[in-house]
Amino acid sequence: MGTNGIAIDVRQLHKWFRNNHVLRGVDLKIPAGTATAIVGGSGAGKSVLLKHMVGLLSPDSGGVYIFNQEMPNKYSRRLEEVRRRFAMVFQGSALLNSLNVGENVGLGLVEQGRLSREEIDRIVREKLTLVGLKGKELELPGELSGGMRKRVAIARALAMDPEIILFDEPTTGLDPIMAQNIDSLIADLRDRLKKTVVIVTHDMDSAFEIADLICMIYEGKIVEQGSPEAFCRSTNPIVEQFISRFKRHNGDRGQGIRD
């Protein structure tokens, strides 16, 4: 586990959508250079929490701190500067359908206008090669499979060279082999590129495969957090119920957890 301090510090975060109190005082510290999985059932508030981390949603109370600096509100000019430290891979990939794969991957760099066309093309080729999609620059997102779209989204995130990468349900809707490939790719990013990785998932295989720290969110609160081994041995009934199926398949002593 990296010890470069806290990358993301969520303090007493509350969020309402009209009368629906989605986040109810979330406290969470994500160490830099590590992979953290946020798990929980549907509607628990995982994606809402993730969107607060990147400033797509503003808290009703509490705050999010990025490397000890408070996340600016959505009207602040500083928000774009803070967001440059992030990249996010969305559940549905969120590729721009009007652009081809190469244009999607290079979009952020082109819009920044800091690099030459040749330099951007080189980065696009490099990142597509990294995710195993060499030579697919000219294909349109509509021509790709779900797994390939996810990988293009990861390449797009990597092209911006962020310090923190957020993944929203990266393996949802993928077959087990493709899900395994995506998991390996994310683990590789953490190990080789030393990025801080946050994954929101309800796929426990993914969480145990990738994460250094697993946090369980339930009814808008973090109810358990710890290393995969500690999480697997948790006596919290909510956690036990949530991972019971995983335990049945992998044994209840944490077999299947990566070394």
> Is there a contact between 31 and 227 (Cβ–Cβ < 8 Å)?
no
156 binds other proteins (CB under 8 A): yes
Q: Which member of 19, 42, 111, 237 binds other proteins (CB under 8 A)?
A: 111
Pick the closer one to other proteins by CB: 56 or 187.
Answer: 56
Using DSSP bridges, classify how beta strands 6-17 and 20-31 pair: parallel, antiparallel or unpaired.
antiparallel
Three-state secondary structure call for residue 108? helix
> Is there a contact between 190 and 197 (Cβ–Cβ < 8 Å)?
yes
> Is there a contact between 229 and 61 (Cβ–Cβ < 8 Å)?
no
**How far is 187 from 92, CA to CA, in rounded Å?**
20
Q: How far is the CB of 238 from other proteins (least distance, A)?
A: 29
Q: Which member of 23, 64, 107, 131 binds other proteins (CB under 8 A)?
A: 107
Pick the closer one to other proteins by CB: 56 or 140.
Answer: 56
Neighbours of 11 (CB within 10 A): 16
Residue-level length of the chain? 259
Site string for other proteins, 220-259 (x = CB under 8 A): ----------------------------------------
65 binds other proteins (CB under 8 A): no
**How far is 226 from 199, CA to CA, in rounded Å?**
15
For residue 37, give Cα distances in angstroms to 115, 212, 216, 224.
Answer: 34, 8, 8, 12
Candidates 61-69, 103-111, 123-131, 180-188; binding stretch for other proteins (CB under 8 A): 103-111
Neighbours of 114 (CB within 10 A): 9
Pick the closer one to other proteins by CB: 47 or 206.
Answer: 47
Q: Which member of 83, 127, 151, 195 binds other proteins (CB under 8 A)?
A: 83
Q: How far is the CB of 257 from other proteins (least distance, A)?
A: 31
91 binds other proteins (CB under 8 A): yes
Chain positions contacting other proteins, by CB under 8 A: 51, 54-56, 80, 83-84, 86-88, 90-92, 94-97, 107-108, 111-113, 156, 160
